[in-house]
Chain A
Amino acid sequence: MHRLRSQLSISAVALLLGLLVVLQLRGQQAASTLSGLSTQELTVLVANLDDHNEQLRNEVAGLEAQLSDITTAQLRGDTSVDGIRRDLARVRAWAGLDPVTGEGVTITISGPIAGPGVEDLVNELLTAGAEAVAVEGVRVVPGSVVAGPPGLLSIENTPLGDPFQIRAIGSREGLTGSLTRIGGVVAQLSATYPSAVVTVTPVDALVLPATSRTLQPAYGTPRL
């Protein structure tokens, strides 16, 4: 009896002990990550998260409407072909499988610049909300990398000339402002590659091609 009681007490204390150790470690980890940010960085983070959450809320609203459309149509005995087709067109355009059109910017780059510099530019475009990007005639999709030393740049085995263009669809003002702001990516590139010239031009209508790849995984299999 004594033995059982003592074992139970020790187990309970050990459980509590373990819990506290984990809490302590987790707490320290979380605190150190956010406390490493300055007030200005926290403000940027809040703005970024807020903006992103708004997009996610819109996405949730859109998906809820889509689901309700499909189920209502099915209740009517309809197969909702149009709904599924719209969904297909939307996902294909976003994924880069279909050509897209819209306003945006054209960036012309001339002079010596290395692959990582061009990648920084593409990353900045995506940060600023670009919805589709093409480097010359190649649509940027997962796996497309601009690589090579100055003068020998290529993307997906397509060599890039001098000058070459990057085109991006998104808000003209937003993209232009973000790229050309003081201390922005264009300024940083001109410091790293002083002989390269980067020109950003807002454009009313662009047409970007589809990727030439199927984007079907060769090694990965869907996990359901």
Chain B
Amino acid sequence: MTTVGQRLRAVPSWQITLGIALLALGFLIAAQLASEGPRIRYTSQERSPLVETVNGLQAQQQSLKDRILTLRAQIQQAEQRGQGSAVVIRQINDGLEKARIAGGLIPLRGSGVVFQLEDSVKPTAPGGNNDDYRVSARDIRTVVEELWLAGADAISVNGERLTTSTAILDIGASVLVNSAFLAQPYQISGIGPKDLYDRVSASQGFADFLRARSATYGLQVSFFQPNPVNVPAFAGTVTLRFARPAASPSAAP
């Protein structure tokens, strides 16, 4: 008669390993299904169509942005094909390249710093306001302003390039930048001089910000200095509906 122990010993070790892995797999599948549960219930609530609309619109936004970047690259190539045929074309193309760089339509790389902001993990003080413990659009704008004042060339927030038309605003506990819905952690990448971080951290405005938001409410502010810092191109509209070029001596040739 064989005992249970003997039977177990007869099982090859790979089967045991596989068995343990399958057990973990089963657990994860169950966890996944369980986490689907509340979301299914959630979608049956009144605001669920709104969440789905937001998801759909965000997907649309991403594909439109990709299309814009592709078209701009194609236009730039097509415009440069005419290059060399005449001096005037070359001059206009050079001007266009400079204008695109000035506007933020070309991705840049260089020295700089990336600041990361995250919500506080401190419990809200009795009678306190939860919003004070979250990263707000104002917090992001403060860091952006300090980076500009310290001599930054170009800035992006979670991959959204800051341009002449960029607004940064609160929407609930998150923020919109260039009308893109961003969630924390917020990474503010700035290209600038090698000592960009030192310049920012030495400024009174940044010290005030850390005192008011980090020391008081526990907002998590960190930084890193990748080499290089990458800032993407702006993938939004450059079409003016109300403004038109005004005649001026400094206007384009």
Contacts and interface: CB of A to CB of B under 8 A. Distances in A.
B98 to A, nearest CB: 6
Interface string B18-35: 100110110011011001
Contacts of A46: 50, 53-54, 57
Interface stretch (A158-166, A194-202, A214-222): A214-222
Interface in B134-180: 137-138, 141-142, 145, 148-149, 151-155, 162-169, 171-174, 176, 179
A58 B67 CA distance: 12
A84 B18 contact: no
Given A97-B102, A100-B243, A220 B61 contact: no
B240 A94 contact: yes
A150 interface: no
A142 B104 contact: yes
Given A53-B64, A90-B238, A17 B28 contact: yes
Interface in B175-213: 176, 179, 181, 183, 191-193, 205
Contacts of A91: 96, 99-100, 103, 105, 238
A37 B172 contact: yes
Contacts of B107: 222-224
Interface string B46-59: 11001101110110
Given A36-B172, A42-B47, A87-B79, A99 B101 contact: no
A190 interface: no
B17 A81 contact: no
Interface string A96-124: 11111111100000000001100110011
B96 A88 contact: yes
A132 B163 CA distance: 11
A143 B86 CA distance: 35
Nearest to A87: B96
B89 A88 contact: no
A27 B239 CA distance: 36
Contact of A100 (B51, B57, B246): B246
A47 B183 CA distance: 18
A28 B240 CA distance: 40
B74 to A, nearest CB: 6
Nearest to B107: A223
B226 interface: no
A28 B35 contact: yes
Contacts of B55: 34
Interface stretch (B2-10, B120-128, B215-223, B229-237): B229-237
B193 A219 contact: yes
A142 B25 contact: no
18 contacts: A31-B39, A31-B42, A34-B55, A39-B50, A46-B50, A51-B179, A52-B236, A53-B60, A55-B239, A56-B61, A56-B65, A67-B74, A74-B81, A84-B93, A91-B99, A91-B105, A94-B238, A131-B242
Interface of B: 12, 14-15, 17-18, 21-22, 24-25, 28-29, 31-32, 35, 39, 42, 46-47, 50-51, 53-55, 57-58, 60-61, 64-65, 67-68, 71-72, 74-75, 78-79, 81-82, 85-86, 88-89, 92-93, 95-96, 98-112, 137-138, 141-142, 145, 148-149, 151-155, 162-169, 171-174, 176, 179, 181, 183, 191-193, 205, 230-231, 236-246, 248, 250-252
Interface of A: 2-3, 6-7, 9-10, 13-14, 16-17, 20-21, 23-24, 27-29, 31, 33-39, 41-46, 48-53, 55-60, 62-64, 66-67, 70-71, 74, 79-81, 84-85, 87-104, 115-116, 119-120, 123-124, 126-127, 131-132, 140-145, 147, 169-171, 207-208, 210, 214-224
Given A24-B31, A222-B101, A222-B108, 11 more contacts: A29-B183, A45-B172, A87-B75, A88-B99, A91-B100, A93-B240, A95-B103, A100-B245, A132-B243, A142-B166, A223-B107
